[in-house]
Amino acid sequence: MELIVLKTNLKEGIAALGKIGSENASLPILKNCLIETQENKIKFSVTNLEVAISSVIPAKVVKDGSITVPLSILSSIINNLESERVSLETKVNNLVIKTENYQAKIQGTKKEEFPIIPKIGNESEYLEIESGLLKDGLLSIINASQGSAIRPELGGILFDYQVNIIKFAATDSFRLAEKTIDENQYKTNIEQKLKTIIPLKTIQELVRVMSEKDDEKIQIYFDQSQVLFRTDKFELVSRVINGEFPDYQPIIPKETVIEVVVNREQLVSALKLTGSFSDKMNEVRMIIKDGVKNIELFSSNPILGENQYLIPAKIKGDSIEIVFNWKFLFDGMKSITTENITIGLNGDNKPAIIRPMNAKDYFYIIMPINNT
């Protein structure tokens, strides 16, 4: 292998690989990055046997070839080079890196020793969506998911394709978030419904590497055990979780006896302030009184003291005192961009639902803390 490439492109290609090829890999070869030429391009690939990421960058290829080298060493060298023009060449099982004033030789291994990157069985059916739209949609729900060794399905994101809409959902059993994307926001030739659970770590890697540009398209492919995300710059293939996502429809409040409309920024500020006095359970009490046009957030700590914050609000319904984990409540605010939000309540021990004002494509459900 012999080629010439720009340092800027090298850094971009290697950065896309993230931490999949890490020093904590279970097998030494998994710490390596596979480098191979591909039609005047360089393809970098890493895997941990659960997820694989490949990135492609342009290069002037003089001689085709391949090699695997430790990703950490390669990344360290490329990130510290001063020259923009970089030469890569393989000699026996070594990768030689040259610039006008620097040379390094990294001991590598043959491509044949690197794990085979999985392939999707059926690439004729796919879904195409704007990268920025998909990224925003996933970011709006991933905070509601957490890894779970006992219940693996809670450590994943539900991808629910219903032909005319797509729903993303996540839950850790204390909270739940759902985002809906309408059919006019994506293209597809998949004619049948499908549901799959994608591991949270896969989604986190996908969100990290995806562009925020709305004009960049990402294609998604599925088979029974894997999912593939592909753009012109990268591919990410991952196993899916074998299991049933919890049926969350019964817990979605159909009606609420108390409805609060409040300014999002004011609520976020109030949560940050009152949360600083909360105890180890992150408890903040929300108090609504009859005839008063505000909600009160209150928290106390036997060591630190106590504080309260009054927020103007439009309120329909009775008085209530309800306790939330303020960090969970705050997570529900992060992805909402509307000026005002609505909070629906049905008592101090039933799920509360949070929605953007006048929007039906997202909701966040949170369980109160029951101190009785």
Is residue 372 in some structural domain?
A: no
Is residue 274 in some structural domain?
A: yes
Same domain assignment for residues 79 and 150:
no
d(CA 186, CA 127): 7
- DSSP SS3 for 159: strand
The DSSP letter of residue 9 is H
Is residue 246 in some structural domain?
A: no
How high is the pLDDT of residue 24?
Answer: 59
Is residue 121 in some structural domain?
A: no
Residues of the chain with pLDDT > 90, as a percent, come to 84
Contacts of 62 (CB under 8 A, 6+ apart): 2, 3, 4
Same domain assignment for residues 134 and 232:
yes
How high is the pLDDT of residue 148?
Answer: 66
Unique residue bearing structure tokens 């390094």: 104
- Domains in the chain, number: 3
d(CA 160, CA 153): 14
* Res 368 pLDDT > 90: yes
Which structure tokens are listed for 149? 């060794």
Same domain assignment for residues 154 and 210:
yes
Written as one letter, the residue type at 114 is: F
| pLDDT single digits (tens) 167-206 | 999 999 899 999 999 999 999 999 999 999 999 999 999 9
Please answer whether residues 296 and 267 qualify as being in contact, where contact means their C-beta atoms are separated by less than 8 angstroms: no
Instruction: Kindly state the greatest CA–CA separation across the chain.
Output: 82
Which helix (H) or strand (E) segment holds residue 8: the answer is helix 7-15
| pLDDT single digits (tens) 16-49 | 998 886 655 678 999 999 999 988 999 999 999 9
* Res 214 pLDDT > 90: no
Same domain assignment for residues 300 and 352:
yes
How high is the pLDDT of residue 335?
Answer: 81
Same domain assignment for residues 141 and 93:
no
How high is the pLDDT of residue 162?
Answer: 97
Which residue range is the domain that position 326 belongs to? 253-366
Q: Could you tell me the pLDDT band of residue 165, with boundaries at 50, 70 and 90?
A: very high
Which structure tokens are listed for 65? 């070839």
Is residue 120 in some structural domain?
A: no
d(CA 198, CA 205): 12
The model carries a pTM of 0.91
Residues forming a β-bridge with 267: none
> Residue 41: which of 75, 70, 13, 69 has the closest Cα?
13
- Mean pLDDT of the 52-58 span: 96
Is residue 276 in some structural domain?
A: yes
How high is the pLDDT of residue 25?
Answer: 65
Q: Is 219 exposed, middle or buried (0-12, 13-18, 19+ CB in 10 A)?
A: middle
Contacts of 352 (CB under 8 A, 6+ apart): 253, 322, 324, 343, 344, 345, 346, 365, 366, 367, 368
Which helix (H) or strand (E) segment holds residue 221: the answer is strand 217-222
Please answer whether residues 198 and 134 qualify as being in contact, where contact means their C-beta atoms are separated by less than 8 angstroms: no
Same domain assignment for residues 221 and 311:
no
Q: Could you tell me the pLDDT band of residue 372, with boundaries at 50, 70 and 90?
A: low
User: In this structure, what CATH number is given to the domain that contains residue 276?
Assistant: 3.10.150.10
For the residues of 74-127, what is the DSSP string, one character each?
HHHHHHH---SEEEEEEETTEEEEE-SS-EEEEE-B-GGGSPPPP--S--SS-E
* Res 350 pLDDT > 90: yes
How high is the pLDDT of residue 279?
Answer: 84
Which structure tokens are listed for 261? 């409309």
Same domain assignment for residues 109 and 131:
no
Is residue 248 in some structural domain?
A: no
d(CA 327, CA 271): 8
Is residue 139 in some structural domain?
A: yes
Unique residue bearing structure tokens 């009859």: 290
* Res 236 pLDDT > 80: yes
Among 59, 78, 113, where does a domain finish? Answer: 113
Same domain assignment for residues 157 and 227:
yes
How high is the pLDDT of residue 370?
Answer: 84
Is the dihedral angle over the CA atoms 315, 316, 318, 322 positive or is it negative? negative
For the residues of 305-343, what is the DSSP string, one character each?
EEEEEEEEEEEES--EEEEEEHHHHHHHHHT--SSEEEE
Same domain assignment for residues 268 and 358:
yes
d(CA 225, CA 177): 24
Among 91, 113, 135, where does a domain finish? Answer: 113
Neighbours of 85 (CB within 10 A): 13
Please answer whether residues 71 and 47 qualify as being in contact, where contact means their C-beta atoms are separated by less than 8 angstroms: no
Same domain assignment for residues 43 and 93:
yes
Same domain assignment for residues 50 and 143:
no
Q: How far apart are the first and last CA of the chain?
A: 69
How high is the pLDDT of residue 149?
Answer: 64
d(CA 338, CA 21): 39
Among 79, 113, 147, where does a domain finish? Answer: 113
- Mean pLDDT of the 101-125 span: 94
Please answer whether residues 162 and 135 qualify as being in contact, where contact means their C-beta atoms are separated by less than 8 angstroms: no
